A and B are shown apart, each in its own frame.
Chain A
């Protein structure tokens, strides 16, 4: 806000320091706080934070420029970001962003000169089941249509504070369509925790092992083993981290778990703390879910009152554990556990070298368990009801259930829980999908499935998934999906390693060239080559999986590419004649000889 004075900024930083302390690891949290109040992080705040936290101003600025939700210059009283996942595009977000920009007289991403508003796109905000969606000053607005956009423009022009906007705008539905093993029973009476205390940590670990539970974030590491490694790692300080950075495009089930099953998730973290011997836990909550923070804080406060967090939990002397919520600020890479830990420590979210793994050297270099929201929920029930109860569902290698986020072309988008081993066509039938052309499973980084593969099953041994399930019917141009994902990965690469940083940009540019009708067969081969370099040469999973959608669609949907191609064998990626424009301008010539001949 232009009206924010220097003393205002200094006061703001001082208040944030008073609330969160001067631990340099809270840098990102301070920056988010300043951003929320000033619509940017002004220079005075950079200097004040560098000084107070004893970090370099460069580290502060580097963090601001890394996270998409932090800015060095003001965004205005209203910072509006439209979710730009392919599922938003499929329901017309492009038209709505145009409409909103027209109404407000702005261009995407550029603040209005009067300091009132900025309108721009952002990566998937996790509202695909109630898309199109947007964030206004970090708060989620769902189910956009022309009328709602019109109303928003009025509210912005009237400078109406968010708390006076219609409450319905901010309503987020759970949309649980098919509850299963975990979702069918949200009741919480701390039975898991009580069972743990009655039977002991070894017994709890044994139940987890018996259950066969594997991490629900996608990588599928055996949970019991992770906890055991961490428990046995040398050191006397350990941490529990819940990865609630649900950034994979098309995923939103953790949003629902945190909304309606938060107690069970926190209980799982507390059980983990007891098993490994941790006293401090963190929920790393993606910035897009800012609206959930107050709710989660209130659940935590209630649990403290009930003796389920804090000192001597459930009267057990020495069982001390508490949980703090840390916000992310718009960085997909922070869903990767080591980047998440870097971000928790207030730094840019760049993945760490492994080994060492977080179980031996995680937060502050101490043994740390990082698990997905869904994993903690499952762990609570397993400790409560036993490993066999969980094992009763699923396949040999994939025990239990998987919670899916279903969106795209179907009648009933929402959250579905299935036993592992469920075929893709079953999900399509249940959600009312018809004439399905393709399913993108496990998000932008996942696999593109053609109809011939709809008999394949959801399981670690066949189709491993973190839960995203996006459906495309036959009316869709699959290249639209590719364009969206290619831009997404170019935007979300952390930039640390060469293949992902540069390769991601090259892929995006080549995809755009093809989409513009300027591509030839040669470009498709180029896309394959660059994709292969990224798969083989990248530093972390982001780069390894970023070209999947391109390689998959080239193999399975060649026609989607072919019909955009020029017939020519080779087409240059720039217009030779246009490239001479500057020379013509400099020499003041525009005669025929100063132009290249048109090709036949």
Chain B
């Protein structure tokens, strides 16, 4: 197929076809742009902002910005990496992310992206919100402490499962994931282990029961190779 156009990303020519975003084109060309709320199964979302890149002196999210002929994209400068690090640190202090005590550690996209951008500490003051854990479902548990509001489960349930089990409620820092059942509990909803929504969570918020620590530490998804090589959690059926 003849390639219509190209743009330059950190000095490298990236081909794209009309309609592709910067993210689409970069991933297709084997160039990694860190991301959390993006998943090619769904329409671009643009909420986590981790995929921020510099384009002609402005900052845009690579997952939503259309690729344009001749544009110059900054994906690796210190300025862009600093920005991503700060955004990740914000995600860490907003929730309760305690990696050493989390069964998703090693197979968590938030953790893996944080490593990739060189985040060494959470830097900002923790909010330590009081959030709940919902273990009402026989097969899955939801730990809201780890939710990063990427809305992947919301989109998977709505767009692929045809169920609309999840939604975001509230506003500002009070924004939170809610479940569509009369009690608000997962066990009372139509959620099933076979739903796509059960396998797209990039962090340890939606977890299968009775599978924790099946893979020992050291042999987990991101333990041996970085996320830029391994890819998304959702591409590995939830990361195991």
Given A58-B169, A538-B49, A573-B125, A502 and B149 contact (CB-CB distance below 8 Å): no
Judge if B87 is at the interface, Cβ distance under 8 Å: yes
Partner of A501 from the list B50, B66, B175, B178 (CB cut-off 8 Å) is B175
Q: How many B residues are at the interface, by size bracket?
A: 35 or more
B46 x A62 contact (CB < 8 A) = no
Partner of A58 from the list B50, B59, B94, B167 (CB cut-off 8 Å) is B167
A501 x B94 contact (CB < 8 A) = yes
Closest partner residue, chain B, to A502 (CB atom): B90
Closest partner residue, chain A, to B164 (CB atom): A56
Interface residues of A in 479-530 (CB under 8 A from B): 490-499, 501-506, 509, 529-530
Chain B residues within an 8 Å CB radius of A505: 94, 127, 172-173
B93 x A502 contact (CB < 8 A) = yes
Given A497-B49, A538-B49, A491 and B172 contact (CB-CB distance below 8 Å): yes
Chain A residues within an 8 Å CB radius of B132: none
Interface residues of B in 88-129 (CB under 8 A from A): 90-91, 93-94, 124-125, 127
In terms of DSSP, what is the predominant structure of the interface of chain A?
helix
Interface residues of A in 21-78 (CB under 8 A from B): 56-59, 61-62, 65-66
Cα A62 to Cα B166 in complex, Å, equals 11
Closest partner residue, chain B, to A355 (CB atom): B66
Judge if B192 is at the interface, Cβ distance under 8 Å: no
Judge if A460 is at the interface, Cβ distance under 8 Å: no
Chain A residues within an 8 Å CB radius of B167: 56, 58-59, 62
Of B44, B127, B172, most buried by chain A (CB within 10 Å of CB) is B172
Given A499-B90, A501-B94, A539 and B46 contact (CB-CB distance below 8 Å): yes
B182 x A57 contact (CB < 8 A) = yes
Chain A residues within an 8 Å CB radius of B81: none
Partner of A66 from the list B61, B166, B171 (CB cut-off 8 Å) is B171
Cα A535 to Cα B59 in complex, Å, equals 9
Judge if A537 is at the interface, Cβ distance under 8 Å: yes
Judge if A348 is at the interface, Cβ distance under 8 Å: yes
Chain A residues within an 8 Å CB radius of B83: 533, 536-537
Of A348, A495, A509, A530, most buried by chain B (CB within 10 Å of CB) is A495
Judge if B139 is at the interface, Cβ distance under 8 Å: no
Closest partner residue, chain A, to B85 (CB atom): A533
Cα A496 to Cα B154 in complex, Å, equals 13
Partner of B91 from the list A66, A498, A529 (CB cut-off 8 Å) is A498
- Pairs of residues from A and B, 5 with the lowest C-beta to C-beta distance, nearest first: A495-B175, A502-B90, A62-B169, A58-B180, A58-B167
Task: Give B residues with C-beta under 8 Å from A.
Answer: 44, 46-50, 52, 59, 61, 64, 66, 83, 86-87, 90-91, 93-94, 124-125, 127, 149, 164, 166-175, 178-180, 182
Could you list 24 examples of A-B contacts with CB < 8 Å? Answer: A56-B164, A58-B164, A58-B178, A59-B164, A62-B169, A62-B170, A65-B169, A65-B170, A348-B168, A490-B172, A493-B171, A495-B168, A498-B48, A498-B50, A499-B87, A499-B90, A502-B91, A506-B124, A509-B125, A533-B83, A536-B59, A537-B52, A537-B83, A539-B49
